[in-house]
C-alpha cells in the first residue's frame, strides 16, 4: 500500500519469475511509447490549431463544396462569422468581376493538378469588392477528394501600392497627365491600328510661349499652377479619345488618333491657339492675370513618319518652325501641308460668312430649243465673288462646301434666289422660262429636299412647273429606292427633274425608266470632239435615241461650234446649252438677252 502511494504502478512477488518480469517490462515499455505518441499528437494538434488561426483566411469545404469550417481571419476579411457560412457554398463571396470561364479554368486546374492559386476579386459582407490571393488545395484520401482547403490573403493594400507605382511611372505628378512613357505606348498602339485598318493620326507638340519668364518672375508655384490650368484648357478642345501628355517643363503633346482629314490637326491647333489668347488667372495671394501664347508643331502618320520616334522628332521640328514664324501659331512638318491647311482654313472661314457678306451670285446660262433657236430655259450656276482673289471655280467651291457640310445652306440659298428671280421676271412680263437649279448628291442625300422645295415655292410664289432640279447619275443611283421615292414626291409637287452630266456616271436602265425625269443632259465631254471623234458621236447619238425611246427630252451641254450644233440637230436632240449661244450671265445681262428675243 505504501509502495503505491510512493508512486509505484505495479509489483512482483518473490521468488521472481523471469517470464512474468519480462512480460511486465514489455507492457510498461509499450505503455510508455503510447504515452509519448499521445503527447506528440497533442503538440501537433495544438500546432495545427494555431496554424488554422493564422493571418490568412481559411475555408474548409466538403468535396461537394459545402463549408464546414472557417477561421477568424476569414471572418475578419469577409465580415462573415463562422455561423453565417458553415453549411453553405462559398459562391456567395463572388464579386461578379470574373466570368464563368475564369471559374471553369480554376476548377479544371484543381481537378488536374490538385491545386490552384491566383488573384480573385470577392465581395465582403458590407458590399465592398476587394482583391485577394487565393490558394485552393484538394485534400485526398486514396485518390478521392474529401475536402477542399482555401487560403486567402487580402491584397487590397498591395494593390493600391501597385496602382501608386503605376501612376508614378506612367503619369506626370503635377498635372496628372500621361507622361512620355505612356504616350509612346499609345502612339505605338495608334500606329498599329493605322497600319492595319487604315486611318489617320496626327501628333501635336505644344510649347508655351514665354513660360520661362512667368516662372522666373512669379515663382515656381505660380508656374506649376499655370501648367495645371494649361492642361485643363487643352482638354477642352479634344475628344475623349485624344491623349494629352506632358513631356516635362512646358512641353505638352497631343495625340489625335481620331481625325478624318489632315487639316483637322490645323483646326484643333487654331482652336487651341485662340483659346490661349484669353488670360489665365493664377490664384496666388491675390488673383493674378497672365497672358501666354502657345506654339504648335504637327506631324502626320504616314506622311511624316511611321514610328513613334520619327513622329515625335518631326512634330518637334515643326514646333521650331512654328516658333520661328512668330510664335502663337502652328506648323506642319512639311511646308506644303502648312500652306495648304492655312489656306483651307482661311477659305472655310470665308465660306461660313459668304451669305451674310452677300458674296454669292447666281449666273444664268440660256437653254435653247434646237428647232426654233429660242431660249426656253436657263441653268442657274453659282458664282462666288471673293473680295480679293476674284472668282473661285464653281467646281472647287461646291466640292469644298460639300466637304465642310456647308452645301445644304448654299444649296438652299441658290434655290431661293433663283425662284425669287424667276418670279420677278414673270411679274415683269418676260416670257415664262424653266429655271434649272443644280442639286448636289450630298444635298440630295442629307437634307430634307422636299420640305425645302415646298417652303421656297411657297415663300417666293414661283410656280412649281417653271422649276427644274438637276441631279447627277451617281447621286441618284447610290440609293435607288430612296431616290425613286424622293423623285416621285418632288415630281408630285409639279417640279421638273433632269439628270445632269449624263453618260459620265453609271445608270441602271432598269431604274432610269422608272424615274419620273423629264430631261437627260448629255455631258459636255461627249460634245467637245464632235465632229472629230467617232466614239463620242456614237455615244451622243445613242443617248439621244435611247432617251427618246424612254420618253425623255435630251439636252446637250457645252455646245461651242456650229458643227456640233448641226450634228445635234440632225440627231434630233431637243435643246442645248453652250458658249455658241451664251456664257452664263449675271441676272441683268441674261434679262437683256431675253428681251432681245421678244
Contacts with ligand C2E, residue ranges (CB under 6 A): 365, 381-382, 393-395, 398, 411, 414, 438-440, 470, 500-501, 524, 557-560, 577-579, 584
**Which residue's CB is nearer to ligand C2E, number 211 or number 364?**
364
By C-alpha distance, which of 190, 58, 19 is closest to 137? 58
**Which residue's CB is nearer to ligand C2E, number 42 or number 569?**
569
Whole-number Å distance between alpha carbons of 481 and 475: 12
Strands annotated E in 37-167 = 57-62, 67-70, 115-123, 129-141, 144-154
Q: Which three cell numbers stand for residue 484?
A: 425613286
> What angle, rounded to 10 degrees, do the helices at 180-197 and 308-324 form?
110
Query: E strand or H helix at 472, and its extent?
Result: strand 467-472
Map residue 94 onto helix, strand or coil: strand
The entry of ligand C2E, Mg ion, none that residue 124 binds, CB within 5 to 8 Å by partner kind: none
The entry of ligand C2E, Mg ion, none that residue 238 binds, CB within 5 to 8 Å by partner kind: none
Least gap, CB of 585 to Mg ion (angstroms): 16
Least gap, CB of 336 to ligand C2E (angstroms): 26
The entry of ligand C2E, Mg ion, none that residue 558 binds, CB within 5 to 8 Å by partner kind: ligand C2E
Q: Which three cell numbers stand for residue 542?
A: 445613242
Least gap, CB of 498 to Mg ion (angstroms): 8
The entry of ligand C2E, Mg ion, none that residue 584 binds, CB within 5 to 8 Å by partner kind: ligand C2E
The entry of ligand C2E, Mg ion, none that residue 35 binds, CB within 5 to 8 Å by partner kind: none
Least gap, CB of 407 to ligand C2E (angstroms): 7
**Which residue's CB is nearer to Mg ion, number 59 or number 439?**
439
CB contact at 8 A, 465 and 492: no
Least gap, CB of 365 to ligand C2E (angstroms): 6
Write down how long the chain is: 598
Whole-number Å distance between alpha carbons of 116 and 355: 73
**Which residue's CB is nearer to Mg ion, number 132 or number 470?**
470
The entry of Mg ion, ligand C2E, none that residue 382 binds, CB within 5 to 8 Å by partner kind: ligand C2E
**Which residue's CB is nearer to ligand C2E, number 399 or number 489?**
399
**Which residue's CB is nearer to ligand C2E, number 252 or number 397?**
397
SS (H, E, C) 125-146: CCCCEEEEEEEEEEEEECCEEE
Least gap, CB of 524 to Mg ion (angstroms): 7
The entry of ligand C2E, Mg ion, none that residue 398 binds, CB within 5 to 8 Å by partner kind: ligand C2E
Strands 67-70 and 375-386: unpaired
**Which residue's CB is nearer to Mg ion, number 331 or number 522?**
522
Q: Which three cell numbers stand for residue 460?
A: 417666293
* Binding footprint of Mg ion on the chain (CB under 5 A): 438, 470, 500-501, 557
CB contact at 8 A, 228 and 174: yes
Least gap, CB of 470 to ligand C2E (angstroms): 6
Whole-number Å distance between alpha carbons of 198 and 211: 38
**Which residue's CB is nearer to ligand C2E, number 253 or number 564?**
564
The entry of ligand C2E, Mg ion, none that residue 257 binds, CB within 5 to 8 Å by partner kind: none
Whole-number Å distance between alpha carbons of 84 and 91: 13
Distances (CA, A) of 99 to 104, 155, 519: 9, 21, 64
Amino acid at each position: 500500500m505504501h509502495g503505491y502511494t510512493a508512486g509505484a504502478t505495479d509489483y512482483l512477488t518473490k521468488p521472481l519469475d523471469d517470464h512474468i518480469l519480462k512480460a511486465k517490462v514489455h507492457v510498461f515499455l509499450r505503455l510508455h511509447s503510447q504515452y509519448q505518441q499521445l503527447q506528440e499528437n497533442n503538440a501537433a494538434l495544438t500546432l495545427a490549431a494555431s496554424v488554422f488561426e493564422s493571418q490568412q483566411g481559411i475555408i474548409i469545404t466538403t468535396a461537394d463544396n459545402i463549408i464546414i469550417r472557417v477561421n477568424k481571419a476569414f471572418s475578419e476579411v469577409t465580415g462573415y462569422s463562422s455561423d453565417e457560412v458553415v453549411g453553405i457554398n462559398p459562391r456567395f463571396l463572388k464579386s461578379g468581376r470574373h466570368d464563368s470561364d475564369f471559374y471553369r479554368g480554376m476548377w479544371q486546374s484543381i481537378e488536374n493538378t490538385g491545386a490552384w492559386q491566383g488573384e480573385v476579386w470577392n465581395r465582403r459582407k458590407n458590399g465592398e469588392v476587394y482583391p485577394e490571393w487565393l490558394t485552393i488545395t484538394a485534400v485526398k484520401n486514396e485518390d478521392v477528394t474529401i475536402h477542399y482547403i482555401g487560403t486567402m490573403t487580402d491584397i487590397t493594400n498591395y494593390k493600391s501600392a501597385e496602382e501608386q507605382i503605376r501612376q508614378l511611372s506612367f503619369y506626370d505628378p503635377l498635372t496628372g497627365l500621361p507622361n512620355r512613357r505612356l504616350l509612346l505606348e499609345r502612339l505605338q498602339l495608334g500606329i498599329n491600328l493605322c497600319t492595319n485598318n487604315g486611318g489617320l493620326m496626327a501628333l501635336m507638340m505644344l510649347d508655351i510661349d514665354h513660360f520661362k519668364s512667368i516662372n522666373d518672375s512669379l515663382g515656381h508655384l505660380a508656374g506649376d499652377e499655370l501648367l495645371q490650368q494649361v492642361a485643363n484648357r487643352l482638354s477642352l478642345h479634344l475628344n475623349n479619345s485624344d491623349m494629352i501628355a506632358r513631356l516635362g517643363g512646358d512641353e505638352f503633346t497631343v495625340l489625335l488618333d481620331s481625325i478624318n482629314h489632315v487639316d483637322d490637326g490645323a483646326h484643333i491647333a487654331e482652336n487651341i491657339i485662340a483659346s490661349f489668347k484669353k488670360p489665365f488667372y493664377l490664384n496666388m495671394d491675390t488673383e493674378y492675370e497672365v497672358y501666354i501664347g502657345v506654339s504648335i508643331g504637327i506631324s502626320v502618320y504616314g506622311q511624316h513618319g511611321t514610328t513613334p520616334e520619327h513622329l515625335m522628332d518631326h512634330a518637334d521640328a515643326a514646333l521650331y518652325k512654328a516658333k520661328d514664324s512668330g510664335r502663337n501659331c502652328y506648323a506642319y512638318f512639311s511646308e506644303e501641308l502648312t500652306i495648304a491647311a492655312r489656306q483651307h482654313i482661311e477659305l472655310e472661314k470665308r465660306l461660313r460668312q459668304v451669305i451674310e457678306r452677300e458674296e454669292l451670285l447666281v449666273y444664268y446660262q440660256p437653254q435653247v430649243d434646237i428647232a426654233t433657236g429660242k431660249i426656253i430655259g436657263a441653268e442657274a450656276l453659282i458664282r462666288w465673288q471673293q473680295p480679293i482673289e476674284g472668282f473661285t471655280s464653281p467646281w472647287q467651291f461646291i466640292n469644298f462646301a460639300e466637304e465642310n457640310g456647308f452645301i445644304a445652306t448654299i444649296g438652299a440659298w441658290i434655290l431661293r434666289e433663283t425662284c425669287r428671280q424667276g418670279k420677278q421676271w414673270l411679274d415683269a412680263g418676260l416670257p415664262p422660262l424653266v429655271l434649272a437649279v443644280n442639286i448636289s448628291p450630298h444635298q440630295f442625300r442629307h437634307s430634307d429636299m422636299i420640305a425645302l422645295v415646298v417652303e421656297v415655292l411657297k415663300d417666293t410664289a414661283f410656280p412649281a412647273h417653271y422649276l427644274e432640279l438637276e441631279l447627277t447619275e451617281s447621286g441618284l443611283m447610290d440609293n435607288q429606292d430612296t431616290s425613286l421615292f424622293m423623285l416621285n414626291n418632288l415630281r408630285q409637287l409639279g417640279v421638273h427633274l433632269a439628270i445632269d452630266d449624263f453618260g459620265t456616271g453609271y445608270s441602271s436602265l432598269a431604274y432610269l425608266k422608272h424615274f419620273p425625269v423629264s430631261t437627260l443632259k448629255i455631258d459636255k465631254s461627249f460634245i467637245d470632239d464632235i465632229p472629230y471623234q467617232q466614239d463620242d458621236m456614237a455615244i451622243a447619238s445613242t443617248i439621244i435615241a435611247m432617251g427618246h425611246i424612254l420618253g425623255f427630252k435630251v439636252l446637250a451641254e457645252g455646245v461651242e461650234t456650229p458643227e456640233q450644233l448641226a450634228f445635234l440637230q440632225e440627231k434630233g436632240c431637243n435643246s442645248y446649252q453652250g458658249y455658241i449661244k451664251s456664257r452664263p450671265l449675271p441676272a441683268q445681262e441674261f434679262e437683256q438677252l431675253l428681251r432681245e428675243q421678244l
